[in-house]
Chain A
Amino acid sequence: MIEKLIVKIKRGDSPLFRLLRSVAQTILHSTMPVPKALKPLFKLGYRAHFSFIWGTQWFVTFFYRGPIFQARCASVGKNLYLWLLPKVRGPVEIHLGDNVRFFGENLIESTDLCGVTPKLIVGNRVDLGHGLQFLINREVRIDDDVNIANFVRFLDTDDFSDDPNESKPIHICRYAWIGQDSFIMKGVTIGEGAVIGVNSVVTNDIPPYCVALGNPARVVVKNVGGGPRTPAEPPAAKAD
């Protein structure tokens, strides 16, 4: 009965239903008009809305999420930056260096089906974006000064199988930069200063200082970012 009436309105079979349809569309697809004089007030309201949300988040993170996440990690360096609580499942051992920044909610899943304790080792000054997923059976190692964009997935196993040969550790060398939505598959070593394009699937090792992209990821540019070099001294802590 109600469903049939709604279908008739959607189709606009007769003038009455066509009228009802246009009324419904006007009501559903419009917002309250804002007079020009009141616009600054609503703009203030918009800022206040998000200020309230982020203020609450800051409070919860500072007093609750930060402490309980640090307690879950095996070792944590100085100046951990955190907004949302990473979800950690399984027996993974997490080591974080100094100045690690988490920019969103991450998922770290692990098993010890290989007979070894799975490990996530993050170096100093590493930026981790929002929505990262780690599936760890053995080890994921991220060296210093790595930038990782949002929604990147690190899978050191295709599936949680108990065959030790099915899981191979992942190693991201220093200065690497990984683009959004990429997959880093098992056994991959990404070289120093390498750049991975958006939406890539990395199945093989990537040499240092080159750009790789696509599915599967292939090297398209070499000697990127000024080429290989050894900095005289490690860079100072990042300014926010």
Chain B
Amino acid sequence: MACWRLPVLVSPIFRVLYHLHFAIAATLRWAYRVFYAGPLFVGRCDSVGKNFSLMKIPDTPSQTHLSFGDGVRLQGHLAVASGRVFDNPEFSVGDRVTFGPFVFATASKQIRIGNDVKIGGGSRFLDTDGHPRDTMSRIADDPPPADEIKSVQVGSNVTIGRKSIILKGVTIGDGAKVGVSSVVVANVPPNAVVAGNPARLVSRTATAAPVPPPPAPASTDSERQ
């Protein structure tokens, strides 16, 4: 469709109109999240710190205990599910943590995220496989056994790339970075940079403490379980 060509004289008016359009949309969204979405979700959580902000109401249908520190920002959808194995699953987030859009977590037992963590959009935290490993109990639709559920811990100052998947039993050390679209299956040491599927150590961050020289060649294998 061809656009109507604006005369130069009236162009500034339409420019103001353009900004007005987005200003009105943003104001309506702001009112929705400050006066409706925010209070409803704060009512759902166990504890929420100061300066908590969100865009959409997070979808947390189950019995999870949610707690957020100060200055947490949810920049889009967040969903936390819990399954039916444990009574008091925990999803706790530290201070100044930023969540990108479409972050999903399955906190059957425990997921802990430290302070100053940045989590890219589409990331997933899974402390369970969701189904038992045994074939016959899987097709009978049983829940996963308790020993196949292992909690996930994320340290402070961690950056997690977009669309990464953090699997059960993983501990990510302080200051580590996880590359885009990685699948983290084993513990990540502090100040490490990991990437790939499955994630391997690729380097250390600039702020890392000096790496002890031996046993360097075996390090990539020992990162895996």
Contact = CB atoms under 8 A, between A and B. Distances in A.
Is the interface on chain A under 10, 10 to 19, 20 to 34, or 35 or more residues? 35 or more
B130 A149 contact: yes
Contact of B141 (A198, A224, A226, A239): A239
A198 B140 contact: no
A145 B35 CA distance: 46
Contact of A226 (B134, B165, B181): B134
Interface string B143-169: 000000000000000000000010100
A177 B52 contact: no
B197 interface: yes
B53 A199 contact: no
A215 interface: yes
A213 interface: yes
B34 A31 contact: yes
Among B19, B41, B134, B183, the most chain A Cβ lie within 10 Å of the Cβ of B183
Interface string A208-232: 0100011100000000111001010
A225 B140 contact: no
Interface stretch (A9-17, A37-45, A163-171): A37-45
B44 interface: yes
Interface in B13-43: 16, 19, 30, 33-35, 37-43
A97 B135 CA distance: 20
Contact of A28 (B16, B44, B53, B140): B53
Contact of B165 (A32, A175, A198, A238): A198
A118 interface: no
B33 to A, nearest CB: 7
B61 A235 contact: no
Nearest to A175: B135
B57 interface: yes
B77 interface: no
Contacts of A239: 141
Nearest to B23: A2
A226 B136 contact: yes
B207 interface: no
Interface string A167-210: 00000000101001100000000000101011110000000010
Contact of B44 (A46, A193, A195, A229): A46
A134 B41 CA distance: 36
A32 B133 contact: no
B59 interface: yes
Contacts of A2: 16, 19
B17 to A, nearest CB: 12
Nearest to A38: B43
A34 B139 contact: no
A39 B38 CA distance: 12
A215 B182 CA distance: 11
Contact of B43 (A28, A39, A209): A39
Interface in A9-56: 26-32, 34, 38-47, 49-50
B144 to A, nearest CB: 12
A215 B73 CA distance: 33
B73 A49 contact: no
Nearest to A39: B43
Contact of A34 (B43, B61, B135, B198): B43
Given A29-B51, A198-B183, A125 B167 contact: no
A9 B110 CA distance: 41
Interface in B51-96: 51-54, 57, 59, 61, 71, 73
B131 interface: yes
16 contacts: A29-B53, A30-B51, A32-B35, A34-B42, A34-B43, A42-B42, A46-B41, A50-B61, A149-B130, A175-B139, A198-B126, A199-B197, A209-B135, A225-B133, A225-B138, A235-B140
Given A31-B37, A49-B57, A199-B197, 10 more contacts: A2-B19, A38-B43, A42-B42, A45-B39, A47-B44, A193-B135, A199-B165, A199-B181, A213-B183, A235-B140
Interface of A: 2, 26-32, 34, 38-47, 49-50, 125, 145, 147, 149, 175, 177, 180-181, 193, 195, 197-200, 209, 213-215, 224-226, 229, 231, 235-236, 238-239
